[in-house]
Amino acid sequence: MIPNFRKQFNDAFSPEKYQKLKDTCQQHSSTEIGFRLSESPIFVDKVFQEKLFNAAESIIQQIDSFSAEELNKAIPPQSLVPGDDSHYHFLAIDFGICRNESGELEPQLIELQAFPSLFGFQRQYEEDLRSVYPFLDTFKRRIPINDYIEKLRNIIIGNENPENVILLEIFPEQQKTAVDFSVTENFLGIKTICLTKIIKEGQHLFYEDNGRKIKINRIYNRVIFDELDNIPDLKTDFHFTDDVEGTWVTHPNWFFKISKFILPKLNHTYVPKSYFLNEAPDNLDYSRYVLKPLFSFAGSGVNIHPAQEDVDRITDKENYILQKKVNYAPIFEDINGEFSKAEIRLLFGKAEGSNKLEFLVNLVRMTKAEMVNVNFNKKDAIWIGSTMAFFENDLQK
């Protein structure tokens, strides 16, 4: 999208530099990187950037206009967690980089979630990418890394002692995102604790560290609800539906409240039309839509070629949406003259006591497969996987 930087990167690229990038990223983590890193970042021009952030701003304004009563309808009764609050700390908005009928590039909203993503790893990844390709310093750092860590600290730790703050996950060492947990630990000095290791005494939660029982006052929650349902014979002392003391970052109910549940309620040029499956028009052409379960993550359960029989098999239609297909643009040229498509995720954070989200970092997923998700990429392709975007507006003056 910025042709001179695409050419400069491709000319500078080598397999040795790609290996150096992976090795450098690995040095900042005690955990293996569980997903493929793309060989290349992307470069976003001013016109597309303006469309992207205007759409994000409109979406955020619409989210904030919804009543608590409306958003609470998203929470399945069996998943309601006590102690709900009005503050969500994180928002991830995924846009496809698409081409419209006039041939112009435009963002199209794919998904959004009030749930943390790779806030730690992505910022460290930017530094690692710059170290391998120094010409990227032509783009200024939007937030210097020490300032970024401080912002993350204000959101996740707040005024607590880091010892009393945990990153909560289920079997964290098995998660593809474990590298982010490791980087976050390095940034903030908190520990990653498995849900199965939490000790519950009355309304208080604890974890053990070298024989010491330490009280938990604040939980940076990375547990994805639909994963718990897929773990047979899971035994824990603490259950999310227990009424306990402590502050959630973010409260688990927000996982449902800002999710695919609100897609049919949003209106914008760059928001594809969506319907709850139980409210879809009878004459809808399913071939023009993607069928998605409301509360899945990382592309699980998505049907990109739904047919009438697929719809007929679903008994809980209120838990699915149909989202109009978008036309991803294969515009990111690799060193072999082939082209990749991409999605860009804008990651926002909001500190305790603040009422305004701040754009912190971005994440890009590149692909040559039909679905834009690192889990669905072709094994032997290049210019695929996880990376980030550099914006023309951030060029040094």
Residue 373: predicted pLDDT? 57
In a domain, 235, yes or no: yes
Q: Cα–Cα–Cα angle for 234, 235, 240, nearest 5°?
A: 90
In a domain, 313, yes or no: no
Please give the structure tokens belonging to residue 96: 């496809």
Please give the structure tokens belonging to residue 130: 């710059």
Please give the structure tokens belonging to residue 28: 């900042």
In a domain, 334, yes or no: yes
In a domain, 16, yes or no: yes
Over pLDDT 90: what percentage of the chain?
87
pLDDT tens-place string over residues 226-278: 678 788 899 999 999 999 999 999 999 999 999 999 999 999 999 999 999 99
* C-alpha to C-alpha distance for 283 and 261, rounded to whole angstroms: 22
pLDDT tens-place string over residues 71-109: 999 999 989 999 999 999 999 999 999 999 999 999 999
Residue 370: predicted pLDDT? 75
DSSP-derived 3-state class of residue 172? helix
Residue 311: predicted pLDDT? 93
In a domain, 390, yes or no: yes
Please state whether the peptide bond connecting residue 269 to the residue before it is cis, i.e. omega within 30 degrees of 0.
Answer: no
Please report where in the chains the tokens 């009878």 appear, as a residue. Answer: 282
Q: How far apart are the first and last CA of the chain?
A: 19
List Cα–Cα distances, 236 to 183, 196, 241, 316, in angstroms.
26, 5, 12, 29
- Cβ atoms of 90 and 349 within 8 Å: the answer is yes
3-state secondary structure 211-279: CEEEEECEEEECCCHHHHHCCCCCCCCCCCCCCCCCEEECCCCHHHHCCHHHHHHCCCCCCCCEEEHHH
In a domain, 277, yes or no: no
300: DSSP letter: T
Please report where in the chains the tokens 């995102």 appear, as a residue. Answer: 177
Measuring CA to CA, which residue among 84, 82, 58 is closest to residue 71?
84
Q: What is the mean pLDDT of the chain?
A: 94
* C-alpha to C-alpha distance for 142 and 122, rounded to whole angstroms: 13
Please report where in the chains the tokens 């996987």 appear, as a residue. Answer: 385
119: DSSP letter: H
Q: What amino acid is encoded at 200 in this protein?
A: K
Please give the structure tokens belonging to residue 57: 């701003």
* C-alpha to C-alpha distance for 303 and 286, rounded to whole angstroms: 11
In a domain, 292, yes or no: no
* C-alpha to C-alpha distance for 30 and 172, rounded to whole angstroms: 13
Domain boundaries, position 380: 3-272+326-394
pLDDT tens-place string over residues 28-48: 888 899 999 999 999 999 999
pLDDT tens-place string over residues 128-159: 999 999 999 999 999 999 999 999 999 999 99
How many C-beta atoms lie closer than 10 Å to residue 386's C-beta?
20
Q: Tell me the H-state helices in 28-160.
A: 46-65, 68-72, 119-132, 145-156
Residue 224: predicted pLDDT? 86
* C-alpha to C-alpha distance for 368 and 381, rounded to whole angstroms: 7
* C-alpha to C-alpha distance for 182 and 118, rounded to whole angstroms: 11
List Cα–Cα distances, 226 to 176, 219, 231, in angstroms.
16, 19, 9
pLDDT tens-place string over residues 280-315: 998 899 999 999 998 876 667 899 999 999 999 999
Task: State mean pLDDT over 180-198.
Answer: 98
- Say if residue 185's pLDDT is above 70: yes
**pTM to 2 decimal places:** 0.95
Task: State mean pLDDT over 159-179.
Answer: 97
Q: How many domains is the chain built from?
A: 1
Residues written for the chain: 397
In a domain, 314, yes or no: no
Please give the structure tokens belonging to residue 256: 């449902």
Q: At what angle do helices 145-156 and 178-188 cross, to 10 degrees?
A: 100
